[in-house]
Amino acid sequence: MATSVRYMSDAVSYPEESCKLALVGFGTVGSAVARLLHARRHEHGLQLTHVFNRSVERKKVEWMSPEVEWTENIDDVIASDADVVVELVGGIEPAYDWVSRALESGKSVVTANKQLIAHYGSELMELAQKCGQRLAFGASVAGGVPVLAGLQDGLGGDRLFRLSGILNGTCNYILTRIESAGISFAEALREAQEKGFAEADPTDDIDGYDARAKLVILARVGLQAAIRPQQVECESIRRLAHVDFEYAHELGCTIRQVSRVEKHSDRLYASVEPALVKQDSALAAISGSQNLVVSTGEFGGDTVFSGFGAGGNPTAVAVVSDLLQIARQRSQAASAMNAEEYEVSGDFESMQYVRFVVKDKPGIIATLARVFSEHRINVDAVLQRRGYSKAELPFVITLESCPKSRLQQALNEMSSLEFLVEEPVSMPLLA
């Protein structure tokens, strides 16, 4: 049986006004937060008093102060004397119930839970204000990159109207492997799962739902726009192939999963989708689990935030940063973030890349050009690489700037053409 040993260096005398913390969840991020608090215990007034987790006996660690109470009962946390509850269990339920109860019991809350904030951030911020408490979620987007604080405080003097970026490391890894190794999507996904970069069920990542939750939070903080995840259109990366990167390279581009939101008077445009980006752009330079957000303001222009957006330590840094801010401002009540309701559309207008796979025959280009023309879409260029079978011939048509909805109407009309071997793949071509 393990015994707890307390070394003289662990004996910390906390001031009476120290900020007491209860940690809910002791997984990868929770344990990293606890280690960071322990490593800096002589430098701040943050005192960890409670740790909640299921099967708590197997989670206990010897380096933790013996004064910390470990529990499997969330009621112990709600009834405790903790000033702040740190929610790191993820998901919407039971996290929503626990966070609500913590606020109502007179405790502030720090969370890294992107889905919770994306779906119920407005309600929880209103509850925090009503209860005179604080709700901080700086770790919910881009992990250790202080993008939310930067947008709200560092760029608070500007009037931001556009946010774009790469918000999901799993997609970035998969796309990079398809590009560099020439493997299929299925092979890249399997490799990502074997290396622990992708979940057994990768749907949230590859179909854009993870990035969408983060984009909703960015829109609220950076653009003061109150939108819901279900209002944002998502496109999967599942249908991309190495041939798409070959054609992208001919256009001086690569492919990334791009999240973007733009504000135009009373309408908001938002989407998460694979897109062609210039190879010399900041978006193209991001690799692995790194995240990047580019904000654009009327007065300050573009500002880039980048860094590692996943993993225990980077996220723990963001969580502890929120805790230190709350500890400094405990005498002030929470303020609800002003956010306006907007009509949301994914109908961005941009140049387009469309990849066709056909059974070759005369007149194919003329037929496609006619359909595009009927929908008021101008062809920019046609690209066709050598070496492919005439029975399954891939080629690309790039289009001049047009609304996404108009392109979709044209593609719907083309779906009955007998020479198509598979459904075309389309992506915006971003400048």
Verify whether residue 60 is a known catalytic residue: no
Q: What is the DSSP letter of 40?
A: T
DSSP structure string for 77-124: HHTS--SEEEE-S-SSTTHHHHHHHHHHTT-EEEE--HHHHHHHHHHH
Closest of 233, 71, 257, 260 to residue 164, by C-alpha:
260
Q: Helices marked H in 154-195 — which ranges?
A: 169-181, 185-194
Q: Classify burial at 15, counting beta carbons within 10 Å of its beta carbon; exposed 0-12, middle 13-18, buried 19 or more.
A: exposed
Widest pairwise Cα distance in the chain:
84
Closest of 79, 72, 83 to residue 21, by C-alpha:
83
Helix (H, G, I), strand (E, B) or coil at 349: strand
C-beta atoms surrounding 159 within 10 Å: 12
Cα separation, 112 vs 91, in Å, equals 10
In contact, 336 and 220? CB cutoff 8 Å: no
Half-sphere exposure of 371 (CA within 13 A, CB side): 18
Helix (H, G, I), strand (E, B) or coil at 67: coil
Q: Which of 59, 214, 263, 404 is catalytic?
A: 214
Residue 315 tokens, joined: 């996220």
Length of the chain: 431
List residues with catalytic annotation. Answer: 214
